[in-house]
Chain A
Amino acid sequence: MSDRLRGKMPEKGWKELPIRGLIIEPGNSVNYETGSWRALRPIINLEKCPHCMFCWLFCPDGSIIVKNSQVTGVDLRYCKGCGICAVECPRQVITMVEEAEVAKETNVW
């Protein structure tokens, strides 16, 4: 599996894991980059965005980046492409785009 699909968290062997599949360190989901799951990428048209913060509020992964009370983009390390932000955006300025399309345009892959 490629690093991209796996996320960046180093994978532990079975002997290193706590019993019962427990997660014993609080807040370690920050190490688990769910961005690898994404098939659709939210693209925000920031020129038309009045920064109402609906997307920030609804995003289940805290992936909407906000600086100085302004939405500035999406943290693609964690955005899993669920599309909730696009549905909730009252101005409908978020478009979900196939990752494959994005890749073609940007030559990411």
Chain B
Amino acid sequence: MSGNRLKGELKALEGDNAVAEAMRQINPDVVAAYPITPQTEIVMTFSEFVANGLVDTEFLAVESEHAALSACIGAALAGARALTATCGPGLALMWEMLWIASSWRLPIIMNVVNRAFSSPLNILCSHDDAMGSRDAGWIQLYAESQQEAYDNTLQAVRIAEHPDILLPVMCCLDGFVLGHTLEPVEVLPDEVVKEWAGTYNPCYSLLDIDHPVTYGAADFTDYYFEHKRPQWEAMERAPKVILDIGEEFGKVTGRYYHLVDSYRLDDADVAVVVLGATSGAVRVAVDRLRKNGIKAGMLKLRCFRPFPAQQVVQALQGKKAVAILERVAFFGAEASPVFLEVATAFYLRGVSTKLINYTYGLGGRDTVPGQICGVFQDLIDITQTGKTEPIFRYLGLRDF
């Protein structure tokens, strides 16, 4: 950490409020949102900022999430900096517009306060929502803490609007676990964020009546394919930009951000891969095991889209056994999404490590360090027996 780093004001904030605070400081042109638990506090708090005249934002209380993202898309096409937030079913209702936002290369920022899908009815945390939309062309960042939720939102603006990228960014934070719990968050001075965020200079704008262009023309067999191709290009350019901005943010705040984050991993024999709030529990488990002489480590994925394959393999190769923990109930594949990415990345680089996959914490179920220690014990067993079956496992399920 640099010595002359900026000290922000330490505030006790729930994750949702930390995000709302970041949005207030960004002072976007447009926020269109529909309240839904556990994201409600973001919208509620932000609408208070609007009512109290603390922002210049045009706030649209729309009739649905489909409308929320549609309004953001319209605003972004008009050259506005547009932000929104949602979760679970709200994200599902946005589905069609997710793809339009990304293929129109609109730098919209959306916080997703992860919530499980019904049924049974549940408002608590699973990552089904964001993970389900992983291929919609959005960049996806996951926060471990309230601080990271705040920091990710600030960085997302710069990432999304970077001329090499121009993609929407989804900033994910675990519903309730981060969204509704208080933690100290270092909030930057308003003027620092103002300078950090700068002004958005759209490359085309609907409101630029001196240079009219046609938006949304139909595209059939002749051009659709060619018009999709640049989206891959933008995604491929994203890792460098995310790293550069994470570095620049570090220089301002002392908090440096990367694509992945390692914890006591270098000399580890066994490792857990995780994203989101559960990273905290894994850190505690790693510390406990290290005290007992077990070489445990963690790899946290901060960025899931684009998937940082190179960094993941680099960090994990040579480990004797690796468990990938995922908070999703996805059906039909051999394993869950992160596992599939990691396994593919390994295979394509000719790296072979024993991998297992756990689904955990569905519908908000707590996952505590003791359980993670159990995962590490399973990994140690694998290093001794060489047997990985079953590959797909359930953590914290009453399995009877």
Contact = CB atoms under 8 A, between A and B. Distances in A.
Contacts of A18: 213
B204 to A, nearest CB: 6
Interface in B211-252: 211-217, 219, 222-223, 225-227, 229-230
B31 interface: no
Contact of A17 (B166, B215, B227): B227
B105 interface: yes
Interface string A49-62: 00000000000000
A20 B105 contact: yes
- Chain A interface SS verdict (over half): loop
A19 interface: yes
Contact of B104 (A12, A14, A20, A24): A20
A6 interface: yes
* Interface size classification for chain A: 10 to 19
B166 to A, nearest CB: 7
Interface of A: 6, 11-14, 17-24, 26
B212 A14 contact: no
A8 to B, nearest CB: 12
Given A17-B226, A19-B203, A24 B166 contact: no
Given A19-B105, A20-B105, A22-B214, 20 more contacts: A14-B225, A14-B226, A14-B227, A17-B226, A17-B227, A18-B213, A19-B166, A19-B203, A19-B204, A19-B230, A20-B104, A20-B204, A20-B215, A21-B216, A21-B227, A22-B204, A23-B213, A24-B204, A24-B213, A26-B212
Given A19-B105, A19-B230, A20-B204, A11 B215 contact: no
B102 to A, nearest CB: 11
Contact of B226 (A12, A22, A24): A12
Contacts of A20: 103-105, 204, 215
A13 B223 CA distance: 9
Contacts of B230: 14, 17, 19
A22 B222 contact: no
A23 B215 CA distance: 7
Most buried by B among A11, A21, A22, A23: A21
Interface of B: 103-105, 166, 203-204, 211-217, 219, 222-223, 225-227, 229-230
Given A19-B105, A22-B213, A14 B229 contact: yes
Contacts of B222: 6, 11
Nearest to B220: A37
Nearest to A6: B222
A90 to B, nearest CB: 31
Contacts, number: 44
5 contacts: A21-B104, A21-B219, A21-B227, A22-B213, A24-B204
B126 to A, nearest CB: 33
A21 B213 contact: no
Nearest to B215: A22
Contacts of B213: 18, 22-24
Nearest to B225: A14
Contact of B214 (A11, A14, A17, A23): A23
A23 B223 CA distance: 12
A34 to B, nearest CB: 11
A74 B211 CA distance: 33
B112 to A, nearest CB: 24
A44 to B, nearest CB: 28
B233 to A, nearest CB: 9
A89 to B, nearest CB: 28
Contacts of A12: 226
Contacts of A22: 204, 213-215
Nearest to B166: A19
Contacts of B204: 19-20, 22, 24
Contacts of A24: 204, 211, 213-214
A22 B214 CA distance: 6
A85 to B, nearest CB: 22
A23 B217 contact: yes
A11 B105 CA distance: 22
For the complex of A and B, 7 pairs with smallest distance between CB atoms: A23-B214, A14-B226, A14-B229, A21-B227, A24-B213, A22-B213, A20-B104
B385 to A, nearest CB: 51
A22 B222 CA distance: 15
B368 to A, nearest CB: 47
A100 B213 CA distance: 38
A103 B223 CA distance: 29
A13 B215 contact: no
A40 to B, nearest CB: 19
